[in-house]
């Protein structure tokens, strides 16, 4: 009889232990989903806020923006701080101060379509004839208008500069993946291009901003740099923000429910184990 009780206790303890390990993935998955959802919600709120700034901020000349206390919208032409301080975009080969690209292939069924993606930017000057402002953006500041082209795998090798990409065409060629169409997406902030910026101008130039009348950075306020029409940039930013906001709320809600449910089950199982 004692042996039977011991055997039953051992089996019960083993089953409860397996239940603990079965609940842990749910707890971890719920926590991860909640964290991703919260991050997406925050980014969505920021994008919706950017949409409102792009839509409502008054446009002024660069000279006037320097003496204005608060957010302003300015328009001007881009140039590098020094003649050699430029980048070259990897797909179109354009001289620019910022670029963002994404290369994906069309796949059948499941599989990762991404082949390569990246972003690079540098400080630049913007001028409108009244003043020059040194702009030091971040990746979150840039709202670039993208050009999309679909090519075949063989055309891809002719269109891109492999030296500037983290891409090994031979690996894809050997696997036969280049038989599928490839989508090239690239946005640039070109030298000589006319852009609009929402931000705050500060009159004390940074050491690297010699010759500038003022500087604009995210430190002075939420900085938005866009290279298409203000209305188009506002709509694009607002749509992205709304999507992220809805996705973030749903994902965080789902993750929180999964986390709480599995944590509750885990606590009950641990209590049972403690009483065995």
- Residues 99, 189: contact at Cβ < 8 Å? yes
The 10s digit of each residue's pLDDT in 3-15 is: 344 433 443 444 4
User: Taking the mean position of all CA atoms in its chain, how far away is CA 87?
Assistant: 20
Q: Which residue has the higher pLDDT, 180 or 216?
A: 216
Q: Is the pLDDT of residue 179 over 60?
A: yes
- Which is more confidently placed, 50 or 191? 191
Instruction: Determine contact, residues 98/121, Cβ cutoff 8 Å.
Output: yes
Contact 237, 50 (CB under 8 A): yes
Predicted pLDDT at 170 = 55
User: For the chain, which residues make up each domain, given as ranges?
Assistant: 58-230
8 A C-beta contact, residue 204 and residue 124: no
- For 229-260, how does the pLDDT look when each residue is reduced to its tens digit (9 = 90+)? 666 666 666 677 788 888 888 888 887 777 67
What is the per-residue pLDDT for 59? 80
Q: What average pLDDT does range 93-121 have in this prediction? A: 82
Chain-wide mean pLDDT for the chain? 75
Helix axes 230-275, 2-56, angle to 10 degrees: 160
Measure the CA–CA gap between 167 and 159, rounded to whole angstroms.
Answer: 13
Judged against a pLDDT cut of 90, whether residue 189 lies above it is answered with yes
The per-residue pLDDT for 223 is 86
pLDDT at 9: 44
Residue 77: per-residue pLDDT = 94
What are the strands, taking DSSP E only, across 56-180?
Answer: 72-79, 87-88, 95-105, 114-121, 124-127, 132-135, 142-143, 146-151
Task: Give the pLDDT confidence of 21-32 residue by residue, as tens digits.
Answer: 455 666 677 778
Residue among 86, 90, 70 at smallest CA distance from 78: 86
Helix (H, G, I), strand (E, B) or coil at 213: coil
- Model pTM? 0.66
Percent over 90 (pLDDT), the chain? 15
pLDDT at 116 over 50: yes
Task: Supply the pLDDT for residue 12.
Answer: 43
With bands split at pLDDT 50, 70 and 90, how would you rate the model's confidence at 153? low
Report the percentage of the chain scoring pLDDT > 70.
65
Distance, CA of 201 to CA of 221 (rounded, Å): 9
Q: How would you classify the pairing of strands 142-143 and 224-226?
A: parallel
When pLDDT is averaged across residues 156-175 and rounded to a whole number, the result is: 60
Strand partners, 99: 120, 188
Residue 144 CA to residue 93 CA, distance in Å, equals: 16
């Amino acid at each position: 009889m004692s042996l039977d009780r011991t055997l039953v206790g051992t089996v019960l303890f083993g089953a409860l232990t397996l239940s603990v390990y079965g609940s842990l993935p749910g707890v971890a998955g719920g926590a991860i989903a909640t964290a991703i959802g919260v991050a997406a919600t925050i980014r969505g709120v920021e994008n919706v806020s950017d949409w409102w700034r792009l839509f409502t901020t008054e446009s002024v000349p660069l000279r006037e923006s320097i003496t204005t206390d608060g957010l302003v919208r300015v328009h001007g032409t881009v140039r590098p701080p020094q003649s050699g301080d430029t980048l070259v975009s990897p797909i179109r080969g354009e001289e620019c101060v910022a670029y963002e690209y994404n290369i994906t292939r069309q796949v059948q069924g499941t599989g990762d379509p991404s082949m390569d993606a990246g972003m690079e930017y540098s400080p630049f000057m913007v001028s409108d004839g009244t003043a020059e402002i040194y702009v030091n953006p971040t990746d979150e500041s840039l709202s670039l208008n993208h050009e999309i082209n679909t090519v075949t795998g063989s055309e891809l090798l002719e269109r891109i500069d492999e030296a500037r990409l983290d891409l090994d065409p031979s690996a894809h060629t050997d696997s036969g993946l280049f038989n599928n169409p490839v989508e090239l997406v690239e946005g640039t902030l070109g030298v000589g291009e006319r852009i609009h910026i929402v931000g705050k101008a500060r009159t004390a130039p940074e050491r690297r901003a010699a010759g500038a009348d003022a500087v604009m950075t995210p430190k002075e306020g939420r900085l938005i740099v866009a290279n298409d029409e203000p209305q188009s940039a506002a709509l694009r930013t607002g749509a992205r923000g709304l999507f992220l906001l809805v996705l973030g709320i749903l994902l965080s809600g789902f993750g929180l429910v999964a986390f709480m449910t599995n944590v509750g089950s885990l606590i009950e199982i641990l209590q049972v184990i403690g009483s065995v």
